[in-house]
Amino acid sequence: MSKENIIELADLTTGYGQHVVTSHINAVLRPGQLISLLGPNGVGKSTLLRTLGAFQPPLGGQIRVGGKPVEEMTSAQLSRIIGVVLTERPDIQNMTVRDMVSMGRSPYTGFWGRLTTDDEALVDEAMQQTGVAPLAARMINTLSDGERQKVMIAKALAQHTPVILLDEPTAFLDFPSKVEMMRLLGRLAHQMQKIIFLSTHDVEMALQLSDSLWLMTKEGITTGPPAQLAQDGTVARFIQCEGVEFDAATLTLRVG
């Protein structure tokens, strides 16, 4: 794989103002992988995602995309590298699914934001890949949470970025939708050679469906493939909760 689309976190420290949340993170994100960020509430998952998404500056260290530090990039350049799906749900009247997915083309459109036929084709493609094409004419405020989430992923796909960050995309979804969502994201990562990085609380699903895990605790972040982290006991230590047993062979949890 070319170095072009690799994201490196070099001695990264995240936080707000004077307040350090996580320090000295060293890790690499590789294309073609679905990467899940797991960790208890308040440990700093959202802060890390916000820092990666360039919504807030790092307190120390660097994020490099293809060897180039993010702080040297303009917001226009960044908008073509990183797409996001956030927890906030846009509640907009009179906006169709197609309009929403089209917003993903904004970094490429001209001054008035008009779509070319190429843009339209990419919007169609993004809607097909996420299975929301049949909803194209629906108003987004009439969608279910799962449908809306897929539309936002389609928006990120239309943005044509090598990286997509998702903040808890499976929260508030019913179980089948959670599975569908994770499988969809995995497929997109593998087929399109994208870096798909998401935070989640669904430990089991992350263990079974991700290519790589980032386990975040107060002490720091441990990264690696799920099978490896399961074998060396990291996952068991990470879960470490009374009444829950972790089976490293099957990557499942047992309560009892």
Provide the binding-site residues for other proteins, judged by CB under 8 A: 53, 55, 75-76, 78-80, 82-84, 86, 88, 90-95, 99-100, 103-104, 106-107, 109, 111-114, 141, 159
Which position has the token pair 């990666």? 52
Closest approach of Cβ 113 to other proteins, in Å? 4
Amino acid at 63: I
CB closer to other proteins out of 130 and 210: 130
The single residue listed with the structure tokens 């890949």 is 129
Nearer to other proteins, 104 or 169 (CB): 104
- Phi first, then psi, for residue 51 (nearest 5°) are -70, -45
- CA dihedral sign, ordered 193, 199, 203, 204: negative
Please identify, using beta-carbon distances, which residue of 90 and 224 lies nearer to other proteins.
90
Residue 248 C-beta: closest distance to other proteins, Å: 38
d(C-alpha 163, C-alpha 80), whole Å: 9
CB of 19 to other proteins, least distance (A): 17
Nearer to other proteins, 49 or 215 (CB): 49
- If you search the block for the tokens 């993903």, which residue do you land on? 104
What minimum distance in Å lies between the beta carbon of 176 and other proteins?
25
- As a whole number of angstroms, the distance between CA 10 and CA 148 comes to 34
| Of residues 57 and 233, the one with the C-beta less far from other proteins | 57
Rounded distance, CA 186 to CA 192, Å? Answer: 10
User: φ, ψ for residue 183 (rounded to 5)?
Assistant: -65, -40
- Minimum CB separation of residue 49 from other proteins in Å reads 11
Strand-strand pairing, 60-65 and 7-16 = antiparallel
